[in-house]
Every structure is written in C-alpha cells, then in structure tokens.
Structure 1
Amino acid sequence: MAANRRPIILAAAVATAVTLGASALALPALAADGEKAAPPKLELKNGTLDWGLKESFRKYVAGIAHGTIEATDGAKQAEGNGVFTFTEGKGTYDPGPAHAMNTAFKGSLRFVSKAHTFDIKIADVKVRTEGKAGAIQADVTLNGATQNDIDLAKLDLSTVRPGQGEGGAMVFKDIPTTLTADGAKAFNGMYAAGEKLDPATLTVTPGGPVTEEPTVAPTEPTKTPKPTVDPTEPTKSPKPTADPTEPTAKPTSGTEQPADKIAEGSLSWGLKQTFRKYISSGGSISVAGGAKKVSSGYTFPYAKADVDADAKKIDASFGGSVRFLYKAHGLDMKFGDLKVQADGAKGTLLVDVTTPQGTKNDVKFATLDLSKVSYAAKDGVVRFDKVPATLTEAGAQQFVNRGTRPYEPGEKLDPVTLALGGDLPSDGGQAGNAPIADSGTTGSGSVGGGGSVGGGSADTGDTGSLASTGASVPSTALLGTAGVAMAAGAAAVVVARRKRGGPETA
C-alpha cells in the first residue's frame, strides 16, 4: 500500500484541481463506472518553475568571479541574487498508471565571467516526471558549444506532497534536485554529478482533456483502400513473411548481441605512477562521481557503451573523476568523463581535463595498443587487460606552462584495463599493477620520505627531477611555474573550492 500512496495522492490532487479550476470535469482515471479504457491526458497550463540552480554558484558568479547573471525571454530572478522563475509553462498530465507529467517553460539564463573564462546559457527548460522520479531538461551552451535537451538535474518526488494553489493549481514545493553527469559538464566541470542543487517548486494548472491525440487515429482509416490492392495479388502474400525474418536476424548477429547485454562496466587506469607519487609527496588526490582509488590507480564507473565485435569496434564512456591538487606548486587538475574508442588494433583514450582556467572536453589524451586484445566476449565479458597507453601531443599539451612541459608525446603511461559485460567479476576489472603509496595525503605519503620533490626516491633513483619524465628541468621549477600560470586568472576559484574540499562554493 505504501508504494502506491504517492500516485494516489497525485491523482487525488489533480481531481481536486480539475473540479475547482475546470468546471465539473470528472477525472477519467478516477471514474467509478468500472470502465477500463485508458483515461485521456489532461492539458497543463499557466505553469511556473521556481529554481535557483545552486545558491553558491550564483554567489560565486556575482562575487569572486566578477561576472554577470541575466534572466531573459520570460525568465525572472528574485531580488538579492535570488532564485529564478521560468514562466508560461504548458504541457500534459497522464492520469494513467505512470502519472507522467511533461511541461515546457519560457525563459533563459546566462552566466558570464570574463575573469574566469566561462559563458553558460540555459534555455528551453522542461520538466518531466513519472511516478516518484523526474528531471529538469534544458538546452545548455557552454562557451559557444550547445547541447540540446540534456537532463540537467534529477528530481526526487518520493517525499513531495502536491498542494493546491490559486485557481485550482497544483503546487509541488521544494522538490529535491541533484546534478546529472551532463549537468556537471554544463557547469564547466566545477561540480560533480550527484551534487545537491537548490530545491525546485513546480506549479501547474490542469485544464481539459487533450483532444489532439485522438484526432490523429481516424485519419489512418482513410487509407484502408490501399490494403484492397494486396488481395488482388494473393501470390505475393508470402513475401511479407520474408520481412519478419530480417528483424530476427539482426539480434542474432553475434557480436552486436553483447552490446545489448552490457549492463555493467569498469575502466581502470592510473594515469602515470610517478605522477601520482609526485602529487602525493606534497599534495592530495581525490576522487568523485563514483570513481574509486585502488592499488593500481583508479577505477571509473560504467556509463554507456556500443560494442561491435565483428567490426572490432568499441565506443565506451565512463563516469567519475580524479583530481590532483598540489597547493605549494599551484597545480590543480581534474580528469573526468573518460572514453575509450577502439577500432581494430588501435584505440584512443579521451579525457575531459579541468584546471582553474577552464575545461577542455574530449582531449585525445593517449593512444592504446590493441594489437593483442580480443573483442570476443568470454563468459559474457569483453575485457581488454593492461593495454599499453602512450601520451599524445594533445595529452602532453595539458601539462604545458610557460613553454615548458615535463612530459613529451610518446611518454609511456600506466596501462588501461577495460571490462564490459552483464556480470563483471568482483574486482570490477581493475588493472593489476603493483601497489603504490597513493594515500593522497601531505607529508606522510611523500617520495623519499621528506615531503618534498627534491628529496629523492628510492623507487625511481631520482634526485630532483620529475620522476621518469625525461625532462632535465627540476620538478619544483616546472610545476612551480605551472602554478603561477594556473593561479593567475583563477586563484579565487581554487580557494573557494578548497573551503569544502570540492567545488561547493566555487
């Protein structure tokens, strides 16, 4: 009974709203005549969405980022850098078992900071709900690149009781919202997926039944004379039986079938062991969004994948992120939204790289040597184990500061292990590199035990240069100049993030 309480409350609220605000219209879903015909959808009108996105983000834009916030095209912002209101909402409500609601609003928002180099626009906002869940959808433009109709935030309606507003309106107040993976990209990587956002309040007024949809069906019977042509050629009737065989053939095309069964996956990668040791000598390493620290580096959770074993192609995406922070040297880098694109014996590892200067999406960070892998599933799992990875020119450029880069293209990186299937082993497909001291703490996890890079390392035999990079410049100089360049335009962002150990107040 408890599981059904929420839809019953919603249906009752709609019934009350319709009775008060739309004359004597009876809600078909609640008719007591015993009729089992599907109730028609109801029109929703005069809707508003009150949502502040994230209060700390608004304060950051108007404060230390020295930016501007604009609400236009029907959107409004409350005084004192308050919440936003999207207006003129129109949509439909389905009183059937799903209790689905879809509403589109007018209004757009724009957040601009020249000092911190971002320009974010949010427009074409929609809200959809079904049962106890839902999402706020929008078109998001980040620094000129637009993503249409992404789920910006998830809605949790499990504890929300619909109230009644003016004119028979339904009011869903203070709906909890959380940031999605696509939403995290929209915020320029300043927040991780799952981050708590401001609560949202949805107000809609039910109208009459939607009559447009039933009028579409009667137009089809006008085409009934066409089937009379088929009986004139009875000899051709066996041909339609050939068509059904084609759909059955597609699912059985051996190698695409594993893609249909992929429900789990994992990517294991450590970037570069010596780089992790360097950061741990005086900085910190943190993971977010489902990524985990393991002895060999980090594992990243499965997002989605397409597998075609016959063609030897894989396109797989993984969530989570890992952040390398070295306060003394001004280094702040985050790697997230990892993708593996495999084609025969070659592959590419793509990464979103975020620094205080901004985010570079889909950087072709490393090339993968797939000459010894098998695309065939074994026990339902496609697995690439300890694939050699090599730094690309684009990857090396991510470390460049003042014309100097500690890593050159062709540098050997930690191997990559990929696992995709319906039932992964308990290790999640992590690579089996030797354990390392990767505590992510300062001092105690230092190279050479001294807490400084120049202290040397028994592991690498290094006496002052960045371990195994091949660079002759001391690491303190390299990453010290990196800090000057990174901190110049966005020191305030780093400080704000550090207050909470993440991007909460960034």
Structure 2
Amino acid sequence: MPVRRRRSTTLAAAVATAAALGATALAGLGATTASAAERPLTGYELTWGIKQSYRTYVGMFGGFTPSGGASQAAGNGAFTFVDGTGTYDGSGHTVDLAFKGGLVSKSAAHGFEITFSDVRFDSKAGEVTADLKKVDTSQGAPRITEGDDVPLATVAVTREMTGMATTLTAEAGEYLGSASYAGAAGDPLTVVKKAAPEPSPTPTTSAPTTEPSPTASQTQTTEPQPSATQSSTAAPSPTATTGTSASASPSASASATATATPAPAQGAIADGTLGWGVKESFRAYVVGDIAKGRVTVSGGATQAGGNGAFTFTDATGTYDTDAGTLTASFRGAVNFRGHESNGAYGLDLTLSNLKATLDGGTGELTADVDSLGTRTEDVVLADLTARSADLSARDDVITVDGVAATLTGAGAKVFGNYPAGTALDGVDLSVALSEDAQLPDGGGTGTSGGSGGTGTSGGTGGAATTGGSTVGGTGSTVGGAGSTTGGLTGGGSLASTGSDLPGPALGAAAGVAVALGAGAVFAARKRRPRA
C-alpha cells in the first residue's frame, strides 16, 4: 500500500513571519515611504550533485534522466535546476527560491525509481528540499513512498552561495536507500543568477539602465543596480574586447597563413593523443570501498587528478581528410586491480595498445586486454560515433572531441557488470599530420570523464608503482557513506557587507523596489503551483 509522508507547515509561524517582513522597510534606496522587506527574485539556477558516491552507485546499473529544463553535467556529474523564482528578505538577508526541472534516478537491477521535483533552497532554514516519489520493487510488489518538501540536506550558507557544504538528512538516507547517508557530507551546492545576455554595443545602449558607465557609483541610490552587478561579473566591455580582437586577430591570422605549409590530404600520422576515461563509475568502483583497489597507468599513459580520465600518447597510423577516414594506434596502458584476498586479486584488468578508427563519423575503439593473466588482442571495446563526419585539419592537426563510445558485446564480456549498449566515457582524439604540428596542451582528457561535476570522485592514495602512477586508496564509496569530509551544518542569513543584498549572485535584485503587503508576502511563501 502506498506510503505518503508530508512535511507540516505551521500556519501561525508563517503569518507572523509575513507580518514581520511586510513591516520592514527597504533601507538605502532613498524611498520616502516604508516598503516591504521582501523582493521578488527570478532567473536563478541551482547546481547540486546530491552525493558523488550515490551517482556512482546508480550509474553502475542504471542512470539519471533530467526533465523540464534540468540537466546533468557530463561524466555522471552534478544536476542543475533552472528558472529559480522566489523572494529576498532584506531584513534578514535570506532567500527562498523554487526551481523548475525534474530528475528520475532509476536502477532496474536494484529495483528502485526515484522522482525528484520542485527543488527548493531556503537560506534562512539552511536547507534544500524537493518533492519525492520512490517506487521500490526490490521485494516484488511495488512499494510507493511519497513526500512533499522533503529535506534532503542542510546547507552551510555563504554570502556568495557557491560551493556551499551540505550534510545529508535522515530523510535523504531513507529515500536514497542507505541509512549511512544520514549526517554524511553531500556534494557542494551552488545557487547563482543566470547571466543575462549582454546588450549589443550600439550608440543607443549608453543609457544607465542598460549599459554601466564609470559614473554608475554616483547614481546607485536612484538607479537600478543589476547592470552594474552584471558588468562586474560578466566578460569585459564589448567595445574594449572588440577593439582588442579586431587589431590582434587579422595580424595573427595573416602570419599563420604566410608561414603554414598545409599537410597533404592523406598520409601518415606523426603523433597524437587519445583521451578516454573508460567509464567514470567503473573507475570509482575500483578504488571504492567494495573493490578497495587501485588504478595504475604505464607505458606513457597518464591519468587526470581525482581518479580522472586517461590520456594515451605517441599515435601512429594513417589519415585521409578527403575520404573522412582515420586509423590511429596509441601507446600506454592502464591497469584496474581490486578485490584482493591473501595476495590474489579478483579483478586484474589491463588495457593496452588502444586503436581508434573513424570512417564517415563512425568507427571502433579496440585494445589488447589482459584479464587475470589471460591476454586477448584487438578486442573491440566500443562503437564510436563522432558529432561530425568531417576530419579537416587545422594547423596540421585533426581534432575530434566528444566522440560517443558505446560498449560492444565483446566489451561487455571484458567488464562484466555492464551490458552491451552501455554509454561509456566520451573519447577525445588529436593527431598531428606533420612533425612540426603542435598538439593541444594535455592532449585531451576524455570529454565525459574526469571529475565531471561538483564533488570528488574518490581519493588518491597508494604508493607509486614502477613504470606508472597509481590512484587508489579508499576512494569514494559505491552506495555507501562516501566522502568522510565533514561539512558545516545549519544555515541562516547570508552575511551582509554593507549592502542589503547578498553578494553578486543576488545583485540583479537590487533595483527592484516594489512594495509588497503582508498578504502578498504570505502568498510568495506558499509553494509554487504545479504546472
């Protein structure tokens, strides 16, 4: 039978709060009459990964599906909810915001589906909440648990509202399926105002309300402040930037054109790099509290920090830009080792001699595979799909970033836990067509790999091994408590620094001086109507 939990709201407290807010004047705006303390806010975004180890746990056999404008960062990263609206309380320097977008966390293998909606951030309460619906089929018949305004985490609120420490609640542990989450550190949380498009640099944009001027500070008590705030956080002035690029770009282009000797349309590859993380959840699993293993690179391969993606080097092969074909082999190896018992390992997998082929935008990624002492050469691990069939060179370098990689049947046998068709980390390719060509710095780190979103993907540890570097140690916990880094709890006001608005993230509200009666304030505190 469905179980439904709802948070209760104390009506008397809400009325008292509304009355207090309605009676507070907006200070520093030169108003001749008192106005309400609350001001409307719009256009905010909230980014939060919940908890990296939870995303890894779900990603092992399932995944996340954002909707309604919400999105997830590459590499199973953090989630962003959009179009935040609400109010700012100038007397207490607090905000209350509700965001659009939903999220479904689902794993058929573990028998659960959790839907997140109506995500809210209340800096006065120091918490982030959401409406949740969990369908649990792990015991057979579906068991449904629902809740409105479920507190997911307490937030250590800062004035800037970026990278705020979070601590998961008991309710989060209940819905996410692990009692150990209660009191555990969650991912950092950020709330920012989405930058508005800059106005076109035309003669008519000199009005103070649309284009900041050097004398903006002289009029800040009578003119709206959003433009000044946006100017301080946005890119340099359009006119200044345009003037710089206009004088520099043509000469640089002319110089390059005068000295460059284009490589032939086809020939041998002189050098190159391949960036690939295999799969972020697999890397986290290896160094996590289940496998308790390590990742080691050798033979010229490198790994990005934070248990990130790998870069394989010294490419050889052939290319044909007219035909849109490329075949490149790379040096370097990576070893995944874990599940140690009495000196023996249940997981000991090495990938080496990686080779990527592309023909008209599609191709394959192969490698030599050594698993528990059994070696198999040229195993097709993934099918590749580039965003474009074009392989044109620039400065004698062909660069193909963000190539989608999908696990093949042969690859599924190598990794065991992932079925064929599973999305792997994206592939970045850069190959030099001449000895003098300059490859991009770093050579690519795997578009969908690396740290990806907010939070960390496991600790680093273990001693360095001969011939390569090792990433290991306790790492992140798959489905467990994860990071042990404690976060500040509680919440409250955003610190005031002489202004009655909290930091650059909320600066765009400074020019709003609409008086709100107590009744309107109370209405603003109610939950946003469902669409």
TM-score (norm 2): 0.35
Higher helix residue share: 1
TM-score normalised over the length of structure 1: 0.36
Bigger relative contact order, structure 1 or 2 (CA pairs below 8 A, ≥6 apart): 2
